[in-house]
C-alpha cells in the first residue's frame, strides 16, 4: 500500500455496489449523462467539463439523478465563488508548510473493509492554531478532496472521517471559529461531490462540548445520522470499522500510523494539473 492516487477502474464487485446503492445501470448512466450534459450546455453561467468520466464525479453521489447532479454542480460553483478569498487558484504549494510540518490532516493508506477511504483530522494537541489556522486546515481538506474525487472507487464506496480530539485544550477550541464551522459544514453538506458515509469523533475530552456547540447549529439531519461519538472507547469505533482495517492508534490491528501528510504531499504535486483544472471550474468569469 503506497502513497498514490487510486485510479483503478471499478471491477465487478464495485459495479455491483454502484448498481445497488447508486442506481448505476447501463440505462441510468446513459440517460443521466445525456441529461446532465444538456443542463450544463444550456446554462451559460457555468463552466465545467462535459465528458462522461468527469460527469460521473457528480452523478455518482446523486444516484444518477441528473437534476440533482446539476444542482450539486451549481452549489459547488457557488461555494467556490463565496469563498474565493480562500480557494481561488489554491495550489498545494500554497499550504506546503501546513502539509509538510504540521500533521493535522492525514489519509490512512489503503481502504477500510467497505473499500472506503479514511481521512484523519487531528484537532487536539497535535494542532497548533498559532502555526496553522482553521482556515488553513480547511484549505488542506479542500486540496485532499480535489484528488479524492478523481478516484472511481472512492466515488462509489465513499469516505469515512475520523476526528481525533486527543489532548484538546482551550488553545484549539479558540482556534475554531463559528465561521470556520459553518464553512466546513456547508462544504461537506452542500458542495462536496463525495459520499461521506461516516464521521467518527474519538478521544474527545469534556471540553469538546464547547466545540460541538459551535458545530451543532449547522449539522443537518442526514449528516447527524452519520456522526458517531466514541470518546476513548475504541470498541465502540470498531463496531463501524473492524480492528482488521484500523491502525493501532485507534485500537486496531494495523501498524501504528508512521506517516504524515508530508508523505502525501508529493502526490498532490504529482497531480497539480488536476488541482489546477478543478480551480478553473465553476461560474464563468464575466469579461
| Coil, strand or helix at 121 | strand
Q: Return the pLDDT at 177.
A: 87
Contacts of 144 (CB under 8 A, 6+ apart): 105, 107, 119, 264
**Are 35 and 66 within 8 A, CB to CB?**
yes
Tell whether the torsion through CA atoms of 231, 142, 21 and 153 is positive or negative.
negative
Q: Return the pLDDT at 2.
A: 64
Can you give the pLDDT of all 287 residues of the chain as single tens digits?
568 999 989 999 999 999 999 999 999 999 999 999 999 999 999 999 999 999 999 999 999 999 999 999 999 999 999 999 999 999 999 999 999 999 999 999 999 999 999 999 999 999 999 999 999 999 999 999 999 999 999 999 999 999 999 999 999 999 998 889 999 999 999 999 999 999 999 999 999 999 999 899 999 999 999 999 999 999 999 999 999 999 999 999 999 999 999 999 999 999 999 999 999 999 998 65
163: exposed, middle or buried (C-beta count within 10 Å: 0-12, 13-18, 19+)? buried
Backbone angles phi, psi at 66, to 5 degrees: -60, -40
- What are 62's three cell numbers? 446523486
Q: Return the pLDDT at 17.
A: 98
Q: Where are the beta strands (DSSP E) in 110-263?
A: 117-122, 159-164, 196-202, 227-231
Query: How far apart, in whole angstroms, are the C-alpha atoms of residue 114 and residue 159?
Result: 10
Element (H, E) at 157: helix 152-157
Q: Return the pLDDT at 287.
A: 52
Q: Return the pLDDT at 260.
A: 95
Query: How far apart, in whole angstroms, are the C-alpha atoms of residue 169 and residue 8?
Result: 41
In this structure, the number of other CB atoms found within 10 A of the CB of residue 105 comes to 25
Amino acid at each position: 500500500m503506497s502513497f498514490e492516487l487510486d485510479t483503478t477502474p471499478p471491477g465487478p464487485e464495485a459495479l455491483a455496489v454502484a448498481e445497488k446503492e447508486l442506481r448505476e445501470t447501463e440505462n441510468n448512466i446513459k440517460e443521466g449523462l445525456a441529461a446532465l450534459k444538456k443542463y450544463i450546455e444550456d446554462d451559460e453561467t457555468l463552466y465545467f467539463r462535459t465528458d462522461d468520466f468527469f460527469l460521473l464525479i457528480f452523478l455518482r453521489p446523486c444516484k444518477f439523478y441528473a437534476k440533482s447532479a446539476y444542482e450539486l454542480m451549481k452549489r459547488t460553483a457557488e461555494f467556490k465563488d463565496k469563498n474565493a478569498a480562500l480557494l481561488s487558484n489554491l495550489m498545494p504549494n500554497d499550504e506546503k508548510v501546513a502539509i509538510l510540518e504540521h500533521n493535522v490532516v492525514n489519509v490512512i493508506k489503503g481502504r477500510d473493509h467497505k473499500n472506503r477511504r479514511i481521512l484523519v483530522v487531528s484537532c487536539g494537541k497535535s494542532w497548533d492554531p498559532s502555526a496553522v489556522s482553521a482556515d488553513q486546515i480547511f484549505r488542506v481538506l479542500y486540496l485532499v478532496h480535489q484528488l479524492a474525487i478523481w478516484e472511481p472507487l472512492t466515488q462509489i464506496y465513499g469516505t469515512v472521517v475520523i476526528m481525533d480530539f486527543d489532548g484538546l485544550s482551550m488553545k484549539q477550541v479558540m482556534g475554531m471559529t463559528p465561521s470556520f464551522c459553518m464553512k466546513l459544514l456547508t462544504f461537506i453538506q452542500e458542495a462536496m461531490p463525495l459520499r461521506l458515509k461516516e464521521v467518527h469523533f474519538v478521544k474527545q475530552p469534556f471540553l469538546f462540548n464547547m466545540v460541538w456547540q459551535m458545530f451543532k447549529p449547522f449539522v443537518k439531519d442526514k449528516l447527524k445520522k452519520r456522526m458517531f461519538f466514541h470518546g476513548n472507547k475504541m470498541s465502540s469505533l470498531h463496531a463501524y470499522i473492524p480492528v482488521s482495517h484500523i491502525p493501532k492508534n485507534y485500537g486496531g490491528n494495523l501498524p501504528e500510523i508512521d506517516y504524515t501528510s508530508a508523505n502525501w504531499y508529493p502526490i498532490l504535486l504529482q497531480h497539480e494539473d488536476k488541482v489546477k483544472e478543478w480551480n478553473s471550474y465553476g461560474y464563468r468569469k464575466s469579461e
